[in-house]
Structure 1
């Protein structure tokens, strides 16, 4: 589903590359985790794959579509759940979702039905006409997710989709993502919740300083590192325990 070849990104004025000649293949209907310390290059990589920023060099394709030749089709193929809430706070949940759905060419009764179905599925139907600025963090995360999947994307990018949410919302989000995956959606997921990633992802790659330092199934990676009992142990062994404060 995703083919990445020698992909690099250097921001204007930066001394070093944020992503360095990265190569990766993600299979169709896979849940693939991108894990790494702060500033490792995860968000930059997702921004390139989402066509939000242009690579410095290298190439990638998603479902056979390239940024250079099929930019508009590529954007229709993907959904993005950003780390920050991408919602209008003074609009209601329904108004937000209607607006984002219309941006993907959805309209009429079909769009209305999609919105109500997703709100119902994620426990938000009774809050459809409440303004977003009255919602809890977990509720906003769920609306954020709905906004990214109304157009039924083939690939869904998730940047910290459960950060700062209550346990119940986190569980609902993860279960809904599993359903989407079972229905055919390929998922690219980043998170600092390594226990969640271990249970959720089919494969993961640990990125540091713009490079992939290891990739594979979580259980295989744990078995490959002496003394590791979980994915967090693997992560710390490979990236170190030094603080990675980044601004």
Structure 2
């Protein structure tokens, strides 16, 4: 996968893209990153990329020319148009399903804005997706882009050490992940559940399904409306609802 990032502060990405899993992903040729300061496409000697909004109002608005020019340069000679993602609090809420969808792309371009907002023509004629990581406003789109990049890249083949890890993550199955334990089996009187020490894989899997449902029921009931449940989980859910009533 090729990932381009257009930002006014490319130095913000140095630590994130060259550490931990992102570093490993590049070493394994699963992904390549290219972070571009789109001031270089401003077309003026002062490298100005924003201006006052027509009609008045507070703040500055990003001009269309630099971003259009940067995307045109980055996609020159490519047959297939990449997914061009606009970081915006007004956008579609980014989630695990979106990360899974985007992990199948060959080329993604992230547009990170600053200031008051974007010229509307950027939304209408340049981007393919407007995405948000939550109902709050950040100084710029860089932090949102970093979060999305991490969640997408970790799903690529040969990135995580265990290929089952992303499949079993919270939200990947529609539910929150079950509790996890490791050694020691008894820590200051706090013990690991006996079933996990039993070696009975069928019972362990049953316990995990139950715990995953319980955790989702108590923390994120909204996920249960669309989660694909096993017959065992459906029966357990009915019991939980009956007990609550």
Say whether the fold is shared (TM-score over 0.5): no
Question: Could you say which structure has the larger radius of gyration?
Answer: 2
TM-score scaled by length of structure 2: 0.28
Q: Which has the higher contact order (CA 8 A, sep 6+)?
A: 1
TM-score scaled by length of structure 1: 0.28
